[in-house]
């Protein structure tokens, strides 16, 4: 059944202090038009600049997720984004009068409560999903991190953590229905940290707004009697009589027996909201965190961008290729006899493109190159390779149909074998770098398993 986008019915707000900065902040949720997504606005700065909360604006994931645009930043956005995504809200403007949302109790529940009080309404536009159709994997061998997303008709999460600590041990949880479980079973789960981490962070000038009321602190080392007074002062627990016996500082009662791993699910939902649209897929995570979440979002974002471009230019869906020649002509200005790419087989935005050119005796250049011994000119092999690179570059453009790719240089050009009628050229072009309007790509052309030509190509994008 087709679902519509959603926003909130009216404004809602709350206030508190930021977890890491310790600043006092007022936060306001505001309704937003269709297609807005999640936007943070800094009302304390001149002009009230806005930052779209998406993966392109993530600037730091050290102790939470920070987004920025230029000099404007917002720290620790994951709990707010988790509440919005957890409630199925697609469009909302979050106004802050300081640099970081309030931590409140360390969970996303206060934000959920405020949004529910504001009310949720459907909008006159369909909701878009990214349907995962093949397994995506992120693996970090050194840290023992695994994050996998597999095809599923619903958004599901299975999460496991193993901190090798008696107070935590190995914890596991699953969420099968965002709509039915998020508000009651996951949103109340609070952020947590090990006591040794908290000490280091406080000494580094971080978590200035953190307290025993806004987090679960896990005791992960023995405490000498002489340290007790220092720790009481550090954690603002002057009346505390002992560190506690449960492994949780001050024997603070958990909201769930596996509250830490449930909070990891809250964080994951918030970080995945940076994709810009909800997904249909089953996420399985082992010992992951913000860094792994963000890397997986980057993978999914590239798939989403490719599908958007394919939907825009490719009229007939195919599982065998991304663009046929009709779609290529919508992207590239080249026409007969200079359109030298027949299909784009694979497109990984910003990274890689592959394509093919079927070489036949009907090619006009064979009339003179060479009569009786037809060979495709090497410069045209490089040109065809460059046209594939043009598709890769134009994928990054806002309006690719209105822009051109101009090649500014070639390096390390080599021709390995002649290309003759009947050959099928397979091109593989990888991005080396792309910044400030300049890019460099590594291209290869194959006939079967044989390398026919290769080159490094520099290019720029300009308006038509």
- As annotated, the active-site residues are 290, 369
Give me the half-sphere count of Cα atoms (radius 13 Å) on the Cβ side of residue 162: 6
**What does the alpha-carbon distance between residue 302 and residue 322 come to, in Å, rounded to a whole number?**
13
Structure token digits, residue 23: 């600043």
Rounded Cα distance between 218 and 205, Å, is 20
The rounded distance, in Å, linking the Cα atoms of 341 and 347 is 14
DSSP assignment of 397-457 equals: SSSGGGEEEEEEEEEEEEE-S---TT-EEEEEEEEEEEETTEEEEEEEEEETTEEEEEEEE
For 452-462, letters b (16+ CB in 10 Å) and e give bbbbebbbebe
Q: Residue 463's closest CA among 324, 314, 333?
A: 333
Say how far apart CA 206 and CA 60 lie, in whole Å: 14
Rounded Cα distance, 377 and 359, in Å: 12
Residues with Cβ < 8 Å from 255, sequence gap 6 or more? Answer: 188, 189, 190
Q: 88 vs 133, 209, 269, 273, 439, CA distance in Å? A: 22, 29, 11, 10, 38
How many angstroms from the chain centroid is the CA of residue 429? 23
Percent helix / strand / coil, the chain, rounded to 5: 25, 35, 40
* Angle formed at CA 289 by CA 288 and CA 293, multiple of 5 degrees: 90
- Report residue 31 as tokens: 């309704």
3-class state of residue 308 by DSSP: helix
Question: What CA–CA distance (Å, rounded) separates 305 from 352?
Answer: 13
């Amino acid at each position: 059944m087709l679902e519509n986008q959603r926003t909130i019915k009216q404004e809602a707000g709350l206030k508190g202090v930021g977890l890491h900065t310790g600043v006092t902040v007022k936060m306001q949720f505001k309704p937003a038009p269709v297609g807005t997504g999640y936007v943070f606005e800094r009302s304390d700065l001149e002009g009230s600049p806005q930052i779209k909360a998406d993966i392109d604006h993530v600037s730091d994931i050290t102790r939470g997720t920070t987004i920025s645009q230029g000099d404007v930043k917002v720290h620790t956005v994951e709990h707010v984004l988790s509440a919005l995504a957890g409630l199925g809200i697609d469009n909302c403007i979050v106004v802050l009068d300081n640099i970081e949302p309030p931590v409140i109790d360390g969970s996303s529940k206060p934000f959920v409560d405020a949004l529910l009080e504001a009310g949720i309404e459907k909008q006159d536009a369909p909701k878009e999903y990214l349907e995962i159709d093949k397994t995506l994997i992120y693996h970090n061998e050194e840290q023992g991190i695994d994050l996998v997303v597999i095809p599923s008709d619903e958004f599901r999460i299975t999460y496991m953590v193993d901190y090798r600590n008696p107070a935590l041990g190995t914890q596991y949880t699953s969420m099968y229905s965002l709509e039915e479980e998020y508000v009651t079973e996951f949103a109340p789960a609070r952020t947590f940290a090990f006591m040794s981490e908290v000490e280091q962070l406080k000494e580094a000038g971080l978590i200035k707004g953190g307290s025993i009321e806004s987090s679960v602190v896990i005791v992960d080392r023995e405490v000498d009697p002489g340290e007790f007074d220092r720790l009481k002062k550090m954690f603002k627990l002057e009346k505390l009589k002992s560190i506690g016996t449960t492994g949780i500082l001050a024997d603070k009662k958990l909201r769930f027996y596996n509250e830490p791993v449930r909070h990891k699910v809250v964080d994951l939902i918030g970080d995945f909201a940076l994709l810009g649209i909800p997904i249909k897929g089953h996420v399985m995570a082992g010992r992951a965190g913000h860094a792994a979440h963000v890397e997986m979002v980057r993978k999914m974002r590239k798939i989403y961008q490719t599908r958007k471009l394919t939907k825009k230019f490719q009229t007939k869906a195919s599982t065998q290729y991304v663009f046929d020649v009709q779609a290529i002509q919508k992207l590239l200005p080249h026409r007969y006899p200079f359109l030298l790419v027949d299909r784009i087989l694979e497109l990984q935005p910003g990274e890689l493109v592959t394509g093919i050119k079927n070489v036949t005796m009907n090619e006009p250049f064979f009339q003179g190159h060479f009569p009786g011994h037809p060979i495709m000119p090497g410069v045209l092999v490089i040109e065809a390779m460059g046209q594939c690179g043009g598709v890769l570059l134009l994928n990054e453009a806002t309006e690719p149909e209105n822009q051109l790719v101009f090649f500014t240089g070639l390096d390390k050009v080599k021709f390995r074998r002649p290309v003759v009628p009947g050959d099928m050229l397979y091109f593989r072009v990888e991005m080396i770098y792309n910044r400030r309007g300049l890019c460099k790509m590594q291209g290869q052309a194959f006939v079967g398993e044989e390398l026919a030509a290769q080159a490094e190509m520099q290019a720029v994008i300009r308006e038509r």
